[in-house]
Structure 1
Amino acid sequence: MSARCPVLLLASAALAACTPRPTADLNPGSTVTPELRAPETDEDPAEAQSKSRWVDISIEPEFGCAVERTGSVFCWGRGPAAEMELRELPDQPPSDPAVYGTRKWGPASRIELVHDARRISTASSRACAVVEDGRVRCWGAVRWGSQHVYDVAGITDAVELEIGDGESCAMLAGGELWCWGAEEFGVPRPRLSGAVAMTVGDGLACGLTGQGDVVCWGQEIKSWHRYDTQFKQGQFKQGQASGGQPPTELDEQDFPDVLEVGRFRGALDLALLGWNTLCVLRGDGKTVCSTQDLLSLIREQDIGMREISDARGLAELATTRTHACARTVDGRAQCWGRNVYGQLGDGGSTTRESAAPVAGLDGVVELAVAEDLSCALTRDDRIACWGFDRGEALGRDDSHAHVVPDLKASSIAAFGRTTCAVDDTSALRCWGSDTLDQIGIAEVSKPSVLALPTSGDIVSFSTGWEACFLRSGGALQCGNWNAQSTGAPTFTPSTAIPEVHTFAAGPTPLCTIAGTGRKAALSCGQSFGLLEVDRQIKAPIDVSTSNMRGCVAHGSGQVSCFGELYSWNDQPPPREFTKIAGIRDAVAVSSSSYSDCALRKSGKVSCWVGQTETEWSTDGRTPKANHYKSSDTKDLDLDKITQLVAGGQHHCALSSGGAVRCWGDNPYSETTEWKPVPDLPDDVVELAAGNEHTCARMKSGEVRCWGDDVWGQLARVPTRVYLTPTVMDVP
């Protein structure tokens, strides 16, 4: 580590933090000068970039902006330029409150207030551009404030720009870094001179000098010192009897916010990856990243540095907390890190620790990355992106409906974000999954075989910490649904409950009905391994649970509901049932997030809003009782219904004629909000509903699914997910 500080433009109190610390050798030992050029061309990269239509790009998960060589700025997606009506939006469909996400935000269009931009940078709620005279002009909101257009005070002659939700910095022509953040009310102050590169995070920013010194600053460093001081003062108070120095009075100015990281000779660029881990691009075209967060240096611990394997010939870094991409000197791109939505661009969705080339992309002159999305500018005037296009700049699918390919099913069931079906070979196949982070969207969207020790049609199942599957044979198998590094997850049973007729997993409460008729018994509890028979309910017929409540159809058709609160107490309060007035002929029940419904023998459907009210002990620590409260029942305009299912915030009903009707779960409206249903054949025989999707099985065995597909629920890679680079259409 260098024995001196780089030239800092800081108050004297903060300078005290810029001192050498005992760490591992952070110097890569490279003496290669930071002047790289593609081996097959003598063309200067800066000159090549100037010939492209685009000169800069910055993206967020839901929007992005690019600077045209003419100085115009084009933005797309759900960003401040669209919300503030600073750019033209496509024609909007008629307003329909029952349809989620009908507003169209893309594609890219020119914004009106900037005509001479040079650089662009974005944060979650705003965007900023370097404009004439090097001023920084922003539009949007700082944090969660009101949206407006403004120039950052006191900044002129800026040539580079990086903004974030916590820290923002501009590099001036002379190499000075001026930065500002929410804690300083957006007033810039000088931070570092002689800078050649910078990077910003939510509460941390770092600069690189021409000598290779890396210095970081920000609220996260100050907060660490504050919490450390408070902790030590607390230790002193506990050990006052054993002597020691009393705590000193410190105000906010006494906590330094600057950290000298070390010297990386020949370094070209730097970036923050993960939770404040540092990546440095060296002059030899290789990248090293810390294995620990930078705050470990304050604790006098080694942050460690490892080289990213297969990352060679690099000239530029772009990172998020979860993945990174780099431009090579020959105009290609390499990425590594989290890849669940294909943001590495390698054609798959497997997370990688080593760098992999982006498929079919060349002529790259600039990179930009956001969570789950990556984009590049190319020499031939393209903006190419890959990953999850939440802003729908690359395209839009309004229907979100899909026929599951190569599947002839005899039964279907859904839970959460997963659907399972038994196919014509009696194999259980599942798709869509809460294990998305482990195996990626390309795998979870495939209907994959899941081996179970039981056979028969799928009646119902649950996922989560404890997965359970009920087949028509009556044995409820519970265990762990383990995600592998590649391929579909596997199921390992640990608990078996015989003769189960139906079960419900809300989560909490968890309930089963074992046996039929007068011998049937309702059992509920906190987990399927700790169920207890509830003898208050006689002859249970059906049970549904959701959001800390449950409902049971029992006896001759009565419906009784109860509230439940997850408790670590060995003696939870007794279960208290409330009969739903006016319902005496129920054959099935369903529960969504806010409402409960009953299917009656007449084929009618009645619904009501249910909620749990907990009564606590005097000290507020122990629940004394859980009361179920319901609104008045309401008969829906439905007839000849044979099946009733519920998802997270919707219910669906199937009639004897094969017609499907769905409605929203809105506890604040007296009017039934009917949900759109895609065109279906008239031979639907079974429905299954998950949190945000619904599936229908036809008499032929064909399965069609509709709704949200972000987790692969429709048995396809979502329409807004691109596993390889796709060109954005910009007028």
Structure 2
Amino acid sequence: MRLRAAGGRRVGSWLALSPIALSLFGCAGELASEHDADDGDIAAIAQALRDDDTPITAVTDEPVLSVERQHACAVRLDGTVNCWGTYENGQSADGDPSGTFVQVSTGASHSCGVKTNGDIHCWSTHGIGFSSHPFGSYLQVSVGGDHNCGLKTDGTILCWGDDWLGQSADPVGTYVQVVAGINHSCGLRTDGTVHCWGNYFANNPGEHNETLPTGTFVQLTAGYINTCGVRTNGTVLCWGTSGAPQPANPSDTFVRISSGPASTCGVKTDGTVDCWGDGFWGGTTEPAGSFTQINPGGELHCGLKTNGTISCWGPEYSAPGSSEIFGRIEIAVSAGDQHTCALRPDSKVSCWGSDAHGQSTEPTEAYRQIAAGRDHTCGVRYNGTVNCWGSGAQGQNADPTGTFKQVSAGELHNCGVRTNGTVHCWGDNSEAQASAPTGTFKQVSAGYLHSCGVTTDGAVDCWGDDTGGRATDQAGSIFNTFRQVSAGMDHTCGLKEDGTVDCWGAGAYGEAADPAGTFTQVSVGNDHSCGLKADGSVHCWGRDDDDQSSPPALKFSQINAGKNHTCGLAENGRVFCWGYNFSEQSSPPTRIYAAVGVGDEHSCGVREDGSIDCWGRNHQDQSSEPPGNFTQMTGGVAYTCVLKASGGVLCWGNDEYGQATEPSGTFTAIDAGDYHACGRRTDGTLQCWGRNQYGQTTVPPGSFFQVSAGYFHTCGVKIGGAVDCWGNGMYGQTADQAGPFLQVSAGGSHSCGVKDDYSVYCWGSDSLDQSTAPSGSFFHVTAGTNHTCGLRTDYTVDCWGSSADGQNADPAGTFFTIQASGDHTCGLKTDGTVYCWGRNQYGETLPPQEL
């Protein structure tokens, strides 16, 4: 299988740690590591898939942060849950819950979360029924007073716990969201209308019978005794008892809102926060900064910022560590004909590939779903309106009126599901492919000359050209209906509730054959089909002459097939594409750097404007990015140092031995070892700082033109070319070398240098062949813990030594510079992009991309 990305590889990749998973975008080194989460790995409900083949579900907008009166819980990027605050009722008495989750909800006496396999898990020391775990597969859970409600994958709602006011009565119908207050519950129906039950609502006990609002909504939130909703136009409407102070309707428009015991806060379209209600506990205090979620509690209030950190305030203030990153990957990718588009973590659109018709021209607005067609693109805004751009020869780039839950872009036409469940199509109608039938639908897919949709009762209804049977309706069975459909050129495939896939229509390449096994998503292109399995692997079938049916061996959470290429969102948040790449539609754009540096488990790049990006482990804030103008970066174990444009040094992160306490003065270069760092001053002398257990920071006299800090030793090239080393020399790694040398690198227990004839010579430990240098000519050499890499005079890279994590693999392409640390290496390629390889436990080999 050939994989190509920008610069010639067949795989392109993109990282998105959303606003939920924010931070770094990138294509990099090795193919991503296998997913190792428990609880069934990636299941259908683990992500709210936001491409044109899958409807938007409630979990798309369900917060990963939840705050009660004095405690809070949030979902980390890896799916684990962190809870903090005061736990009077054992809401987290036994510590953070085990397993991985996609959503969490906290209550006054217990907490619940939806795990990645769709199970609901609740925890409390009460042992009462409201903290029990219901059976079934769920998209979302909401904790009320002494009751809970969960939204199942089939759209129905199940409630359990205290029901003395009818708050746990299961409503009829299908829904996209459920919220629970103290003694009432509300659900957002698939048509956007609201239904509530329990106290204060008609035909249920209580002093008041409140009137439900009319109109359609896109999100709900329940406080103690009130409810608020975001309308399709972004305005907010609140309702509840006449004595509640917070049901005042703000005048601004919002993306998301959340109600607490006595106040409500909302995130506006620009990321700022507006709060209203009772401000006694600071509930109406509006924090500065840009947020993706806000959650007022009682004495504790928290918000998820756009950088993935959580900010909290209030009289019972407590918060997780500043280096903790929270969120859920919520981007999606959509592959068209010769272009591809994706939603960034900030809900903005990035496109790459052909822009001949403006189809890859990126709008500036925020979107909740994206769909790429032949030469055009459409997106659903957060207020439900649809915007299309690109080719409009058949009217396919026209913006339809009304509000939509989902849109699908086909060859020359589009179809969308309105908020009331009806389907509207526009564009080319030469074969009646834009003549949508009546009735209500859960999802729609626009193909080449036909369209298909899944009705609310689970049947597939198709219209348009039926050549070869591609538009033949599918009824399913009473016990096994359809939940998703994807229309291609000459064939169609549908995903059933039991996970099996049925395909129909013409299949000259086998693309219409029913695949074996069970799946969580299906997506079809012109002559190929791909399915996402429950374990995250992808299986494709049909035409493969451009490798469009040859996916990489990675774990994915979402896939989308274009005409002759396919893209998928990997479980690590990166986008990989495979298949036809004539217009670079399989190659996401790449961020350009001027320099690269690595630490033990993190990496950083200096951008052309002097700012830096860091990625990888951040438990000591070593990957935090300070503002400023820098020329060089280097890192050790959990700390980072940069050289300012002014020649000064700035360090941060782990400072256990003073290694992050920067020296004064001006320097021309710096280098970090595991727990110590060294720099060359402008007068040619050296200064080292940090751990000095073996004398590794005790600098010998003399002038040097280069220095390298290793694990417990340091080496420098003196004026004249001799190498002087000091520190731990247990394996002979500090033996001085006469040279002359051009450059030296100190590794774990070995050292290597480039001699003046451009050959490489190594000394010290050779237990894993890390000191067995290859022949040939090199410009530069860099030593990691137990491996070494050299930059040859033809700008290719040769590595040797330990292969435990692939760190001795030779990367393809040409490089300007390389740097190794620990068990990985990063290099600055001749096209300005960064490529990393080796150990990837914390994402240290996944640099960002420019999206």
What TM-score do you get using the length of structure 1 for normalisation? 0.39
What TM-score do you get using the length of structure 2 for normalisation? 0.35
Q: Which is helix-richer, 1 or 2?
A: 1
